[in-house]
């Protein structure tokens, strides 16, 4: 499945993309969020949370807590920020295995810090800063489950 690229001119256009992604993802999904500081990784997770009925005000950057779990009416979101994690070998100490043991939508910021522990079947999203408010999102699946999600996302965004 080729990479899907989608331009977002401003934050007001983000809910449409987040709603489409929430509808396209399977009940158990792993999303690796790549992007520079300020790219909007946490802002995007807030919008996906809103799309599945979780109050976006409850979604804050997990930089210091490393992992936040948000239970919603439709699904559970696990939001992790691995920026401060020294090595993937330290992942077990964070409660990561417990957090993702049940079906959830797992979003990981700074996934390159735990590259050795990333699942083979996942969705890599690269958020590129194009301007003060504009971003480009690139969705690259790395396995069959997420191939299907990106195909569905492509269809939903084409409407």
pLDDT tens digits, residue range 9-53?
999 999 999 999 999 999 999 999 999 998 999 999 999 999 999
* pTM, 2 dp: 0.93
Best CA proximity match to 112, nearest among 29, 30, 34? 34
Over range 76-94, report the average pLDDT: 85
pLDDT for res 94: 83
Tell me, what's the pLDDT at 91? 82
H or E, element range at 140: strand 135-141
- E strand or H helix that includes residue 23: helix 14-24
On the question of pLDDT at 1 being above 70, the answer is no
The mean pLDDT of 52-81, rounded to a whole number, is 89
When pLDDT is averaged across residues 50-60 and rounded to a whole number, the result is 94
Residue 108 has pLDDT above 90, yes or no: yes
Q: What is the mean pLDDT of the chain?
A: 92
- Percentage of the chain lying above the pLDDT 90 cut: 74
62 near 79, Cβ under 8 Å?
A: yes
Domain annotation for the chain: domains and CATH numbers: 4-158 (3.40.50.300)
Going by the DSSP 8-state scheme, the letter that residue 118 receives in this structure is S
pLDDT, one tens digit per residue, over 116-132 is: 889 999 999 999 999 99
According to the model, what pLDDT value does residue 95 have? 83
Whether 86 has a pLDDT exceeding 90, the answer reads no
Spatial distance between the Cα atoms of 74 and 149, rounded to a whole number of angstroms: 17
């Amino acid at each position: 499945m080729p990479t899907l690229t989608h331009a977002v001119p401003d934050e007001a256009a983000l809910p449409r993309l987040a709603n489409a992604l929430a509808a396209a993802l399977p009940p158990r999904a792993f999303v690796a969020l790549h992007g520079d500081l300020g790219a909007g990784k946490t802002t995007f997770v807030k919008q996906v949370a809103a799309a599945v009925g979780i109050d976006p005000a409850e979604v804050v950057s997990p930089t210091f807590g490393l992992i936040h779990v948000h239970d919603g009416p439709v699904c559970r979101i696990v939001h992790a920020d691995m920026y401060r994690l020294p090595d993937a070998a330290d992942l077990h100490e964070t409660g990561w295995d417990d957090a993702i043991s049940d079906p959830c939508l797992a979003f990981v910021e700074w996934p390159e810090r735990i590259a050795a522990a990333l699942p083979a079947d996942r969705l890599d999203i690269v958020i590129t800063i194009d301007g003060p408010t504009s971003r480009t999102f690139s969705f690259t699946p790395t396995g069959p489950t997420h191939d299907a999600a990106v195909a569905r996302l492509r269809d939903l965004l084409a409407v």
